[in-house]
């Protein structure tokens, strides 16, 4: 048991720590037919499109559920049944896209890649050149499994030059890392309420190119995940098709207000970058080494090598840090023993120092020596 009863800080890629204002927004009940609620939905969607400067070309379709529901909806709606999707596979969330494509019966071509290197646009170009029957490319912008950042603009250019459509899982980057729809051609970009926008989990959204979405009627394998149907219903009635996650939507509206007050994407990205620097410096001081090279690292979540010591045991480590007030994340790599620490959420560098202290104290309590990294 922790010494005092308070919420732990979440150093995870979502759900994450939210502000009191965002939590307080959930203290009201809303009717799904109510004009005031539907106005909030509309305003949220307008702002989400504006974050990527997509007003002239794209629309936002919100969807009930976690981020993966929206990924599956985007793949199922925008890829026709006879389509074929190239998936550069660099980690856990790329693998999830491949799994979804298998389940929903869309042809997929995997491009296996190293998990510690940013995707090489030339490799994607070569794969597209080799198979003219590929219609779409699905990429993960920041692969949260490791924390790596991919060169989205260069990838988008290659995909567009080959005349294929791009689908982007920007779940863990949207709002914090710049994505400009005026320069980056894409048919769909998927993200969710409970990541860098610092809302609570429960709503995904797809920013879709209007013409691509318009042409997608009848593609979807599923009724609940049919984005075309969801979009046309919303357009016609201003209401969600099926029960909306009302509390999640109003919390996101409040989180977006704070996002703009903070200074939007540039300020949000800068705060996360400062958190990330402080975290890496602090844990290096304890002898813990990041898995990725600094230039490949997105300021979203950092994978660290576990200490090489017989007393290392992730569940014990997790529990020790938990008792000191912080929630970490397990590693997601199959080959190396790692753990992850998130840099996102309503946290500043001043919140990171106590995390470093808690990690150091936990390691020492486990009998694992801490000392500065020499590499
Ligand atoms: C969080 C995340 C998702 C969605 O995961 P859920 O568990 O469904 O919320 C998808 N892709 C990436 C890159 C993510 O970080």
Looking at the DSSP bridge assignments, the partners of residue 341 are 302
Looking at residue 237, its pLDDT comes to 97
User: 60 with 84: CB under 8 angstroms?
Assistant: no
Q: Tell the residue nearest (CA) to atom 3 of ligand 1.
A: 67
Q: Tell the residue nearest (CA) to atom 6 of ligand 1.
A: 67
User: 303 with 241: CB under 8 angstroms?
Assistant: no
pLDDT (tens digit, 9 = 90+) per residue, 173-215? 999 999 999 999 999 999 999 999 999 999 999 999 999 999 9
Looking at residue 305, its pLDDT comes to 97
Ligand 1 lined by 68 (C-beta under 6 Å): yes
Q: Which residues contact 374 (CB under 8 A, 6 or more apart)?
A: none
Q: Please give the distance, rounded to the nearest whole angstrom, from the Cα atom of residue 144 to the centre of ligand 1.
A: 8
Q: Please give the distance, rounded to the nearest whole angstrom, from the Cα atom of residue 66 to the centre of ligand 1.
A: 8
Looking at residue 332, its pLDDT comes to 86
Mean pLDDT of the 226-255 span: 98
Distance, CA of 39 to CA of 273 (rounded, Å): 34
């Amino acid at each position: 048991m922790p010494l005092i009863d308070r919420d732990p800080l979440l150093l995870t890629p979502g759900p994450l720590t939210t502000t009191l204002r965002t939590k307080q927004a959930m203290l009201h009940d809303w009717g799904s037919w109510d004009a005031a609620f539907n106005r909030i939905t509309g305003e949220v969607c307008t702002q989400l499109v504006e974050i990527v400067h997509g007003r002239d070309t794209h629309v936002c379709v919100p969807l009930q559920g976690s981020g993966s529901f929206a990924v599956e909806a985007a793949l199922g709606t925008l890829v026709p049944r006879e389509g074929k999707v190239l998936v550069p596979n660099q980690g856990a969330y790329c693998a999830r896209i491949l799994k979804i494509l298998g389940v929903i019966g869309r042809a997929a071509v995997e491009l296996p890649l190293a998990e510690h290197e940013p995707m090489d646009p030339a490799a994607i170009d070569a794969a597209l050149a080799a198979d003219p029957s590929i219609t779409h490319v699905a990429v993960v912008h920041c692969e949260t499994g490791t924390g790596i950042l991919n060169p989205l603009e260069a990838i988008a250019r290659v995909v567009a030059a080959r005349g294929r459509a791009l689908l982007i899982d920007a779940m863990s980057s949207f709002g914090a890392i710049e994505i400009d729809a005026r320069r980056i051609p894409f048919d769909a970009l998927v993200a969710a309420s409970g990541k860098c926008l610092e809302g609570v989990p429960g709503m995904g959204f797809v920013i879709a190119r209007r013409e691509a979405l318009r042409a997608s009627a009848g593609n979807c394998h599923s009724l609940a995940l049919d984005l075309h149907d969801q979009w046309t219903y919303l357009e016609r009635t201003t209401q969600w098709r099926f029960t909306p996650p009302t509390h999640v939507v109003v919390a996101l509206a409040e989180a977006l207000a704070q996002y703009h007050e903070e200074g939007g994407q540039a300020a949000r990205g800068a705060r996360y970058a400062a958190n990330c620097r402080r975290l890496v410096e602090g844990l290096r001081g304890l002898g813990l080494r990041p898995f990725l090279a600094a230039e490949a690292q997105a300021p979203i979540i950092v994978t660290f090598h576990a200490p090489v010591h017989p007393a290392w045991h992730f569940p014990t480590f997790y529990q020790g840090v938990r008792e000191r007030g912080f929630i970490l994340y397990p590693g997601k790599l199959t080959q190396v023993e790692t753990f992850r620490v998130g840099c996102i959420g309503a946290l500043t560098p001043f919140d990171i120092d106590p995390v470093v202290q808690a990690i150091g104290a936990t390691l020492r309590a486990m009998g694992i020596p801490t000392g500065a990294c020499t590499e």
